[in-house]
């Protein structure tokens, strides 16, 4: 999708704000041109997923594309037991990244090691699940919705839920419906974007960082813009805000200058300055 967007927009400066597994669908935010420098300010945003777990079957990839490792022939768990287990995963939890993932160990992506039949030790990662709900249960399929922090593997949730239920499970399908401020209702298909590009209208689909980042806006004078672009700290004007507050600085003419942070002594420190577009 990044390669396609580079063609549509005529620039190499395109980056994504969090990958999707090949079999997954849904929201995939892209940062374009100077906004690629702002990815670190939004990429760890919370996500919302809708999907389904297939109970009773475990696979090596933890999803439907993998090789079946084990099957379970016992009775299906009831809804009360499922709700109880899902509640166990709400809050701060530890997740071990799956072998079939892009996480690197010794500079090598885990999925490359997994395809060679290797399994290596992985460090668990702390993630937070704000909400984990059952939407529908028609054994063996369990439809779920989960709100979680960035970096959470729903495939791992499926496997761990199956383990606690005692029947095993894998992720049957997954759709990301929200990534930070980006929602599925705003999303466009590649076909729609390709048509916009052919008509020369694709730039109208771009969202301003003022909308995306959800930070207070700060208007800079021409002199302050020049100072910020040189990396110099600025005197804070306007109503007081707590130290540590980050703001999106702009020049009043629609151009985003960058991100600044209020430091003690009412000083504004530039954290990330965007290049002027040519």
Does residue 278 form part of some domain?
A: no
| 175 and 52 fall within a common domain | yes
| 101 and 218 fall within a common domain | no
- What's the CA gap between 142 and 137, in Å, rounded? 5
Does residue 76 form part of some domain?
A: yes
Does residue 53 form part of some domain?
A: yes
Is residue 50 within 8 Å of residue 61, measured between CB atoms?
no
Does residue 26 form part of some domain?
A: yes
Name the β-bridge partners of 261.
246, 269
| 52 and 167 fall within a common domain | yes
| 91 and 59 fall within a common domain | yes
Q: What is the pLDDT along the chain (278 residues), one digit of tens a residue?
A: 999 999 999 999 999 988 888 889 999 999 999 889 888 887 667 999 999 999 999 999 999 999 999 999 999 999 999 999 999 999 999 998 887 877 888 788 888 888 888 888 888 999 999 999 999 999 999 999 999 998 899 999 999 999 999 999 999 999 999 998 899 999 999 999 999 999 999 999 998 888 888 888 888 988 999 999 888 888 887 667 888 888 889 987 878 898 999 988 888 999 998 887 64
Q: What pLDDT is recorded for position 234?
A: 87
Q: What pLDDT is recorded for position 112?
A: 87
| 135 and 151 fall within a common domain | yes
Does residue 225 form part of some domain?
A: yes
Q: What pLDDT is recorded for position 43?
A: 61
Does residue 113 form part of some domain?
A: yes
| 56 and 132 fall within a common domain | yes
- Give the CATH number, domain containing residue 123: 3.30.2350.10
| 38 and 88 fall within a common domain | no
Does residue 197 form part of some domain?
A: yes
| 166 and 59 fall within a common domain | yes
pTM for the full predicted model: 0.85
| 84 and 52 fall within a common domain | yes
Is residue 14 within 8 Å of residue 6, measured between CB atoms?
yes
| 259 and 200 fall within a common domain | no
The boundaries of the domain holding residue 226 are: 209-273
Distances (CA, A) of 64 to 25, 57, 94, 143: 14, 9, 23, 15
Residue with tokens 């990429």: 43
| 126 and 138 fall within a common domain | yes
* Number of separate domains in the chain: 3
* 160 given a catalytic annotation: no
| 114 and 172 fall within a common domain | yes
Catalytic residue among 21, 46, 63, 78: 21
């Amino acid at each position: 999708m990044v390669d396609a967007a580079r063609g549509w927009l005529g620039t190499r400066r395109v980056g994504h704000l969090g990958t999707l597994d090949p079999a997954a669908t849904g929201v995939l935010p892209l940062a374009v041109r100077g906004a690629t420098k702002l990815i670190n300010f939004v990429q760890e945003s919370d996500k919302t997923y809708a999907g389904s777990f297939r109970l009773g079957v475990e696979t090596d990839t933890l999803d439907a594309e993998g090789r079946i490792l084990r099957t379970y022939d016992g009775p299906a768990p009831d809804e009360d037991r499922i709700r109880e287990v899902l509640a166990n995963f709400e809050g701060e939890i530890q997740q071990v990244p799956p072998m079939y993932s892009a996480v690197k160990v010794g500079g090598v992506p885990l999925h490359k090691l997994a395809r060679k039949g290797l399994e290596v030790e992985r460090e668990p990662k702390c993630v937070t699940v704000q909400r984990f709900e059952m939407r529908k249960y028609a054994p063996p399929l369990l439809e779920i919705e989960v709100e979680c922090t960035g970096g959470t593997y729903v495939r791992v949730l499926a496997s761990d839920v199956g383990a606690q239920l005692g029947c095993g499970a894998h992720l049957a399908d997954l759709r990301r419906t929200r990534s930070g401020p980006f929602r599925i209702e705003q999303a466009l298909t590649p076909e729609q974007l390709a048509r916009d590009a052919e008509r020369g209208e694709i730039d109208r689909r771009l969202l301003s960082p003022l909308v995306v980042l959800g930070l207070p806006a700060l208007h800079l004078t021409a002199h302050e813009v020049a100072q910020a672009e040189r990396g110099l700290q600025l005197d804070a004007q306007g109503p007081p805000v707590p130290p540590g507050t980050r703001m999106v600085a702009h020049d009043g003419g629609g151009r985003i200058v960058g991100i600044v942070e209020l430091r003690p002594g009412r000083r504004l420190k530039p954290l990330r300055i965007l290049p002027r577009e040519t």
